Structure 1
């Protein structure tokens, strides 16, 4: 089946309603509420589709990893996303970004490899840990919010919606340019179902979930979120988005040990141009940038290339996990400066930052 999105009046009307709901209401609703039973299967859960989606993620594991990495190098331009990270200091330096996002990718790998709804599974334990962390940060930061609920809050449904966007937008908007050669509409919709479920497991309410529809709807939603939420903020580059952009570049540098032969900064620059973001992304190694382009457009077309590179990526994930302290120490020496300065939790109200988009 064709991957060309079929956009008609029905798709536009449905997606515009969801977007307006996210824009108008989602920022005032917490994504860390105890009222949300995070590990309860929703009525729309399809076990067969979920398992097939996990299989798709593992089949294209390297491209999925690159898609998630590219999304992260965009996400933290959103001012309500970067501020909590500045408060927690977990993203202060390149070495901390390496430690943080190595852990994130190990978490995500567990979500693809196990049943996250099964209590005691690696995926379930992982999601419980992530939710507890989000809940603590949200609870602490929302103490300084004026009339939370009436006004926007930290770690809101809006924040989670743009986070789900960052995870999967490259796959939906231009799969071939991230190495998904031969992927079908069915495979993408199965992968969407996985992220509709994981989004819900991370606190996304059904009324704000951007992955529960068809591929056509997801493509339209990802396009308008890119154009209306990300692009204006990135091109204005106001504080704290300006330090968010530096953090995005820091993520590409920090995760480089997972991909030593191609430039993740190069992927970031390439995809910023695809997204039509008018901002320059410097690259330390033009040769490694070119190697990444060749990988995406030519090597990944070859039979078994995805399997071969997924084996290599898994090796580097395991190697970096076992040697994280020594790698972090080396990165701290190479990049001693902070990329994300501390921002006091009461410096901004979420409402103030959201007014800029």
Structure 2
């Protein structure tokens, strides 16, 4: 099934030029399959290979199609088919020497290290560019390890590109392969250093150099992204629980307040009833002045009793011949129309002496 957004125009100019030997509609269909094979090479190698085989069925005599089928088979781990397709591409003039490391690796995957070495030492290998030469050395190091030649596998990768101070497109893969060879040779201390270098150079995360380094150093790698997601989930869950707890507490407080209000109201009714009975019993015995001054009972649980007024002493009779004493008032002058000794009338406040 081909997606509608894939038109075939995504191929490079050289590939589209080679497909012009086909009828237009057929060329478009083949191109769309090749585009899908390239898109899915890393995500789903098996499906990518299926698209490449579909293109091969439609145009088996086109070199670029056989080359794409070979690369897709290589990524899918189909070593024999990859080798056959790349050889066919070379015969059709499409496959160049750049795929020699892939072909040597296919021979290695098929368990034929001697044939892999023959390709590595072939005259065509000398024509490779810097990238091709490094890739071929990486394959050769693996072949040496397969043959049990661990020290030779290490020496094979000790090339000038290994000591290059600038990062190159091949740096991460070269550093990783060298660290892997050192590990197989029992030189774990050196391997740890080179795995660290490989991890620093691998900006796209194509290798597991960081994990290999941590394994050798006895470290534990923490995935911060997963932790952040877990913390966000815990925080959200905590917020929900907090909201529920607040709602429960509010409801409980409201219920307690209603219960307390009911108790207070009931207690007030009981107190009022008790005070009414006491007042009725004490009314005949209380002096009229005390009943007037006592006022309403305070709204507390403590009962206050008015002090009984002292009986007024009769004024002393003046001696005969003594001069009249000056009129001195020790208490505020009572308001007009109100006898001294009585409390304020309802609604009035006593005068402020200060």
- The TM tier, using the shorter chain, reads under 0.3
Instruction: State the structure with more CA Rg.
Output: 2
Structure with greater helix share of residues: 1
**TM-score normalised by structure 1 residue count:** 0.22
**TM-score normalised by structure 2 residue count:** 0.23
Higher RCO (CA < 8 A, seq sep 6+): 1
